[in-house]
Amino acid sequence: MSTARTRARVATALAGLLVAALSATPATASPAADPTARHQPTPPHVVGTQTVPAYSYADAIRESVWVQTRADSDGDGVRDRVAVDLVRPREAAAAGVRVPVIMDASPYYLCCGRGNESELKTYDSAGVIAKAPLFYDNYFVPRGYAFAAVDLAGTARSTGCEDVGGPAEVDSATAVVDWLNGRARAYDADGRPVSAAWSTGRVGMIGKSWDGSVANGAAATGVPGLATIVPISAISSWYDYMRYNGVLRTTDYPGYLHSYVNGRGDDACADVLARLRADSAEETGDRNGFWAQRDYRPSAGRVRASVFMAHGLNDLNVTTNQFARWWQELAEQGVPRKLWLYQAGHEDPFDVRRGAWVSALHRWFDYWLQGLRNGVMDEPRVDLETAPGTWTTQRDWPAPGARNVRVALGAGDGVTGTLGGRGARPGREQAYVDESLTEAELVAEPGAATAGRLVFLSGTLTAPLRISGSPSVRLRIRVDRPTTELTARLVDYGTAERIRYDSSEGVRTLDTESCWGASTDVDDACYRDTEEITGVSDHAVLTRGWLDAAHHRSLRFRTPLRPDRWYTVTVPLNAYDAVLPAGHVLGLVLGQSDPEFTEADDRDATVRVDLGRSELVLPVAGRTGLPTVTVAPPVVTEPAQPSSARTAPRTRQVP
């Protein structure tokens, strides 16, 4: 027998052993059920405890299939089919080596683009995927992964209708996971059935913003085979995205988002659009069944996947309570998890800390999808950017040892109140009238008398103050209208170099490029480099909170306020993490209607606050005391926060 023929037979036998070994690996197994474990052949893309480029990206199999979901969201009597564009290693398929899947399910692939450079999908003359946005396929396919780019129902090449965070949207993703595990059907462009026998069944979902929100929703179903998710700047409750505790963020938000990504004809989804507008209770701001259906947090107990979150601490689009509340729910359920927090706004960590992010993502997927014991779960759980370009790690979030400290409000000099110390006696009142101030007007010159706000300042800090968690303001109020919007802001008064997230989310795109993976003539792995935008300012708004006062008892219904009664209300602020240096001053600023961030019809109210029965609840790690005011309040002359042109809700941000 010739040497060539002998080698061929050995290769065939090896491929058969690989098929048998990998077929026996259960789709929902833990990393211990490792396809590279002892007594099993090691595939060529695994060296030690990591995957390495072993397969040709240029020769990868590229195919487009349509997965049948359980939903009929457009009501045409036919189940929706979602388009799935796949890139997977050809050599692995030829050898019978099954591979796990990294999946990004998105509504943006043809309408709007993904990533910092707004990349779109492109197709060859046969309608097969030629270019998939982002670096995931370029980097991971040569390392023994498949990549799946999924068009959500009603978008791009999928049928059905986009229901904005609802069941049809989530079903778009879970149906693909089912197909990759042999539990659902898929078809090619000619209607022929297509199987995913090449898949190990282990799936990792990733995506920024809306894409990451779908990953959260899919994980909350407990779909078997979804081994991990990486939600970046993602939504965990759509009510909290579009309503700030009963206050509208902007009008017709669900309808706007549906229309923004709709890939169907005008008539195909008219009924769905009408239901979105009717069921979202815009006239009241109530949290009803429509919103409960789009809240993934109560289903944290069903999550089987590990979770690697990333979020900008200054994200004004998808605010930080989205990650913080989801993180807490998952922690209570013991879900394996990891977190990156950074100073930028609505950004992907690929454009904040690129090399470290790619490395972290690689190790995370190797562990959870390939089963490689690389120690990633033995490392600190949290990576945190504490100042521009300065990173640290800690074992959890909020910072270990953080606790809620009740901070009293004092009357001060009658113009500027105080934070800390004994505070005012019960019954000491201050009033303010709704003036619809901009954020810059609210927080500037805290020592000046400005109608429409109340300001409270600590003394000059004698030691650094670490805030880590979700603050809130508990107010005892009397209002001369049935309701009003109540707003609160924590402000760091003191000169420092800070991320200018009012400018392109705090990140600047450079002229240079770096490459992350292999390329083809039509799909390169090179992306323009980025850097953080910083500037010296004399103050910064740390976090914000809003409440419709008539929703103080429940978000499910309104309780109009009577002008002859006092009410105790709590204004939750978005989660934050910061260290205020010694020499700075912490400020609390109260306002009412907030035209840059929200849209409220109830204006012109006068609010009386009983200072002695009101307080700031501050999550503090380490030293807890706030010195009382002993020096003149700081003078702020330069607004450091986004202008109304940046944050006006009428621009209708998209997740």
> What percentage of the chain carries pLDDT values higher than 90?
87
Amino acid, res. 555: L
Domain boundaries, the chain: 7-394, 403-499+534-642
Q: Could you read off the pLDDT of 25-81 as tens digits, one per residue?
A: 333 345 544 443 445 689 999 999 999 999 999 999 999 999 999 999 999 999 999
Q: Could you read off the pLDDT of 588-604 as tens digits, one per residue?
A: 999 999 999 999 888 89
Q: Return the bridge partners of 208, or none.
A: 232
- Cβ-based burial of 579 (10 A; exposed 0-12, middle 13-18, buried ≥19): middle
Distance CA 81, CA 602 (A): 44
Q: Could you read off the pLDDT of 220-279 as tens digits, one per residue?
A: 999 999 999 999 999 999 999 999 999 999 999 999 999 999 999 879 999 999 999 999
Helices (H) and strands (E) in the chain, counts: 13, 32
Q: Could you read off the pLDDT of 320-358 as tens digits, one per residue?
A: 999 999 999 999 999 999 999 999 999 999 999 999 999
Distance CA 423, CA 611 (A): 8
Instruction: Please report the pLDDT score of residue 275 as a whole number.
Output: 97
Level-2 CATH architecture, domain 403-499+534-642: Sandwich (2.60)
23 vs 486 pLDDT, higher one? 486
∠ Cα 316 488 616 (to 5°) = 125
Q: Is 39 a catalytic residue?
A: no
| pLDDT confidence bin for 503, thresholds 50/70/90 | confident
Instruction: Please report the pLDDT score of residue 549 as a whole number.
Output: 98
Does 196 score more than 80 pLDDT? yes
| pLDDT confidence bin for 316, thresholds 50/70/90 | very high
* CB-based contact 154:262 (threshold 8 Å): yes
* CB-based contact 221:170 (threshold 8 Å): yes
Distance CA 276, CA 390 (A): 43
Location of structure tokens 């109140």: 417
Does 16 score more than 70 pLDDT? no
Instruction: Please report the pLDDT score of residue 348 as a whole number.
Output: 98
12 vs 372 pLDDT, higher one? 372
Q: What one-character DSSP code corresponds to residue 101?
A: E
Amino acid, res. 21: A
CB neighbourhood size of 32 (10 A)? 8
Helices marked H in 281-416: 289-292, 321-332, 354-369
Q: Which of 423, 446, 458 is nearest to 620 (CA)?
A: 458
| Cβ contacts of 292 within 8 Å, gap of 6 or more | 298
Pairing of strands 226-232, 306-312: parallel
Residue 70 phi/psi, 5-degree rounding, is: -90, -10
Q: What one-character DSSP code corresponds to residue 300?
A: G
Q: Which of 176, 103, 184, 179 is nearest to 145 (CA)?
A: 103
* CB-based contact 412:456 (threshold 8 Å): yes
Residue 430, token pair as written in the block? 């201050």
Residue 267, token pair as written in the block? 């008539």
Write down the CATH number for the domain with range 7-394: 3.40.50.1820
Q: Is 594 a catalytic residue?
A: no
Distance CA 541, CA 288 (A): 32
Q: With both helix axes pointing from N to C terminus, report the angle between 270-279 and 253-261 in degrees, rounded to the nearest 10.
A: 160
Q: Is 492 a catalytic residue?
A: no
Query: Which helix H or strand E contains 83, and what residues bound it?
Result: strand 81-88
Q: Could you read off the pLDDT of 101-150 as tens digits, one per residue?
A: 999 999 999 999 999 999 999 999 999 999 999 999 999 999 999 999 99
Write the secondary structure of 569-630 as one string of H (helix), E (strand) and C (coil): EEEECCCEEEEECCCCEEEEEEECCCCCCCECCCCCCEEEEEHHHCEEEEEEECCCCCCCCC
Can you list the positions of beta strands (E) in 52-178? 61-68, 81-88, 99-106, 122-123, 129-131, 146-151
Q: Which of 116, 138, 60, 58 is nearest to 362 (CA)?
A: 138
* CB-based contact 201:225 (threshold 8 Å): yes
Instruction: Please report the pLDDT score of residue 39 as a whole number.
Output: 53
Q: Which of 644, 649, 643, 549 is nearest to 598 (CA)?
A: 649
| Cβ contacts of 594 within 8 Å, gap of 6 or more | 436, 439, 485, 487, 546, 600
Instruction: Please report the pLDDT score of residue 638 as a whole number.
Output: 46
Active-site residue (options: 74, 163, 315, 577): 315
Q: Return the bridge partners of 193, or none.
A: 187
Q: For 272-292, what is the mean pLDDT? A: 97
Write the secondary structure of 157-226 as one string of H (helix), E (strand) and C (coil): CCCCCCCCCCHHHHHHHHHHHHHHCCCCCEECCCCCECCCCCEEEEEEEEEECHHHHHHHHHHCCCCCCE
Q: For 291-303, what is the mean pLDDT? A: 98
Active-site residue (options: 209, 213, 537, 614): 209
| pLDDT confidence bin for 10, thresholds 50/70/90 | very low
Distance CA 35, CA 22 (A): 6
CB neighbourhood size of 68 (10 A)? 18
632 vs 471 pLDDT, higher one? 471
